[in-house]
Amino acid sequence: MFASQTYEERRQLLRARLKDTNGLLLFLGNEESPMNYADNGYTFRQDSTFLYFLGVDHPDFAGVMDLDDGTTTLFADDLSIDAIVWMGPQPTVAEQAARAGITQTAPAGRLAEVLQKAQSQGRPIHFLPPYRAEARLHLLALLGIPPAEQAAKASLAFIQAVVALRVTKSAEEIVEIEKAVTTTLQMHLAGMRMARPGMKESDIAARVAEIALAAGGQLSFPIIATVHGETLHNHFHGNTLERGQIFLLDAGAESPSRYAGDLTSTFPVDPTFTPRQREVYDIVLSAHLAAVKALKPGVRFRDVHLLACRTLAEGLKGLGLMKGDLDEAVAMGAHAMFFQCGLGHMMGMDVHDMENLGEVWVGYEGQPKSTQFGLKSLRLARELQPGFVMTVEPGIYFIPELMDRWKAEGKFTDFINYDKLQEYRGFGGIRIEEDFLITPSGARMLGPCKPRTADEVEALRG
Ligand code: GLY
Ligand code: MN
């Protein structure tokens, strides 16, 4: 947690952004979420916007900022003696509020009364789109809005103001993100050093998770540790590593104060890459380096994405997998046979920062997203500004089902050499991911350097 002034300043800035808006801002903190029965919950994770403005990292809190009288009230109940017996002593609600510079608190049950009174006076109640079932039910109970209507009735002014503030990271946030990335790098180095033929993917996932937990935080997203890296979000850890395979590790730690790291490493199960693996790895690396070099304020991330796509396509043409006019191929989306997703995403308190508020507001400034396969999965397109933090994560993925589908459809036969492509069936996938801060003059990689080149990766695999 930061000093109380940080939270006070954030709320002042939020109020300033909403100076032409009246009514109440409703912040719902997260509740415990049961896994299989009420007292056996998933690890608690506070809502990031709640944490950002109100600072409390405990379940069952709500907050209201009154835009008209300038007050902020935190709603929660102090723990009963029964709860203290099971969970130990906790700071009081007033103490937790004070740490975030909030002086006004009220019992949880008062929230409904405050909101009902505001509704009866015709005052607007602004809320953010809920992403958990518990929050949807809470909003239904508090405001009478059915869950199916809540996303559409969420406050656009509130969403835009939150995005505008959270999107630029302060110096103290960067320190936290770098802590997370530093732990994340340790996770990757451990995974890269230990992997051997005969191990299970779960052996590596377990060691990687251990490092995140030992650093005092959690994982920032479920670990991807797989010999089937062609499945973009592969969370299965049941395969045994075999010689000749390539292993993709995409994992990140969350710092104790809830900032994310997100790196991807790809390495051979053997001590060295096969010539074919090295060729593909080098193409991904050249796309990565081209993208990183292009990062600077004023550049649109969509253009950086397209530069990476073009670089991948050139390399794939060199291997005989693509052909024809590459500008045309990339414009039409033919390269998405190999790179089906976006180049990167904002990162902060959430690994995909603020994705719950809508990619179109976070990554597109309200402009519509493309519907083209591949480009539609680009989460960030907007012009970069100093203080933005994002990942760069190009990849090449050989997805057998996609190869078969497009071939059967006769899709992009001017640009894809389907005969050659068959030779890569079973290859897997390669992704190289690092995290960057946009600076006034360019970009800086966050955290210590990660092994990047094929030689550097092999040096760890000895
Ligand atoms: N590292 C997981 C993701 O970016 O989606
Ligand atoms: Mn990522």
Is the sign of the CA dihedral 169, 175, 179, 182 positive or negative?
Answer: positive
Q: How confident is the model at residue 328 (pLDDT cuts 50, 70, 90)?
A: very high
No. of H helices and E strands in the chain?
A: 17, 15
Task: For ligand 1, pick from 226, 353, 377, 433 the residue to mutate: most ligand atoms within 8 Å of CB.
Answer: 433
Task: Determine whether the shortest distance from the Cβ of 361 to ligand 1 is under 6 A.
Answer: no
Angle at 81 between CA 76 and CA 82, to 5 degrees: 100
Task: Determine whether the shortest distance from the Cβ of 262 to ligand 1 is under 6 A.
Answer: yes
pLDDT tens per residue across span 84-129: 999 899 899 999 999 999 999 999 999 999 999 999 999 999 999 9
Which ligand 1 atom is the nearest neighbour of the CA of 232?
5
Decide if pLDDT at 462 tops 90: no
Least confident segment among 25-29, 84-88, 213-217, 390-394: 84-88
Task: Determine whether the shortest distance from the Cβ of 250 to ligand 1 is under 6 A.
Answer: yes
Decide if pLDDT at 304 tops 90: yes
Query: What is the CB-side half-sphere exposure of residue 186 using CA atoms within 13 A?
Result: 16
The pLDDT value given to residue 74: 98
For the chain, which domains are there? 4-166 (3.40.350.10), 171-461 (3.90.230.10)
Task: Determine whether the shortest distance from the Cβ of 221 to ligand 1 is under 6 A.
Answer: yes
pLDDT tens per residue across span 351-403: 999 999 999 999 999 999 999 999 999 999 999 999 999 999 999 999 999 99
Token pair, residue 247, equals: 């292993």
For ligand 1, the distance from its centroid to the CA atom of residue 126, given in whole angstroms, is: 30
**For residues 167 and 346, is the Cβ–Cβ distance under 8 A?**
yes
**pTM of this prediction?**
0.97
Task: Determine whether the shortest distance from the Cβ of 377 to ligand 1 is under 6 A.
Answer: no
Task: Determine whether the shortest distance from the Cβ of 434 to ligand 1 is under 6 A.
Answer: no
Q: 95 Cβ partners below 8 Å, 6+ apart?
A: none
Number of C-beta neighbours around residue 64 at 10 A: 21
The pLDDT value given to residue 289: 98
221-241: average pLDDT = 96
The pLDDT value given to residue 396: 98
Which ligand 1 atom is the nearest neighbour of the CA of 264?
1
pLDDT tens per residue across span 236-273: 999 999 999 999 999 999 999 999 999 999 999 999 99
Q: Roughly what angle, to the nearest 10 degrees, separates helices 4-17 and 156-166?
A: 130
For ligand 1, the distance from its centroid to the CA atom of residue 253, given in whole angstroms, is: 12
Question: Strand, coil or helix: what is 263?
Answer: strand
For ligand 2, the distance from its centroid to the CA atom of residue 166, given in whole angstroms, is: 18
- Ligand lying nearest the CA atom of residue 221: 1
The pLDDT value given to residue 461: 92
Q: How confident is the prediction for the chain on average, in pLDDT?
A: 97
Q: Give the CA-trace dihedral at 142, 143, 145, 147, to 10 degrees.
A: -30
